[in-house]
Structure 1
């Protein structure tokens, strides 16, 4: 799309994947490692496992920088489209929790 970063070089590890919730660790070994372009199909929460920065490529061609703090989560709604890149000179990771159903009983 509009990124010069390698596509899909971040390493996802799925820890939980059931009808209600998916929990994935995203690990970026080096600066510029990226998730690859994707659109979130579910509401989600991200919990950073580091203090530092992620660079976010957006569909309009802009790049923003997000500062993250270890253990301080943030929430996003369905429909977010982006490519997330490691903006640090060190390995970093975060946990992504996706809510696969709107209601705990699946209705």
Structure 2
């Protein structure tokens, strides 16, 4: 992990948190604001509220630049440790929807 990376400077606001689903807005006020290193325990969907870029830091120093478009969601399964950073010169945010339980098929 990069020791000079800001840890946890992005602002989470939890809108829904029940036994099945957690919905959180992540707000990054300025370039470099970050979620802090974390690993998702649950599958999730991200819905960007901006057009721009996020920088995804991975263990070992690799950085991936992800382009996002307003309202265009993407799905990820539980995964590896990472840190999400604002790669823009403006405030940005996204909504994260975590699926805390699996709904049986046919319901």
The TM-score range, normalised by the shorter chain, is: over 0.9
SS of equivalent to 2:97 = strand
1:47 aligns with 2:47: yes
* Long gaps (5+) in structure 1: none
Matches within 5 A, 1:8-87: 8-87=8-87
TM-score normalized with structure 2 length: 0.93
| Structure whose residues are more often strand by fraction | 1
Distance 2:27 2:79 in 1: 22
Q: What root-mean-square deviation, in Å, do the aligned CA atoms of Structure 1 and Structure 2 show?
A: 1.4
CA contact (8 A) 1:20 1:104 kept: no
* Paired residue secondary structure (1:39): coil
TM-score, scaled relative to structure 1: 0.93
**Counterparts of 1:102 and 1:80 in 2: how far apart (Å)?**
20
Q: Is the 8 A contact 1:48 1:94 kept in 2?
A: yes
Q: Could you list the per-position Cα deviations for residues 35-83 of structure 1 after superposition, in whole angstroms to 9, with x for gaps in the alignment?
A: 0000000000000000000000001210110000000000000123210
Unaligned runs of 5+ in 2: none
Match in the other structure for 1:88: 88
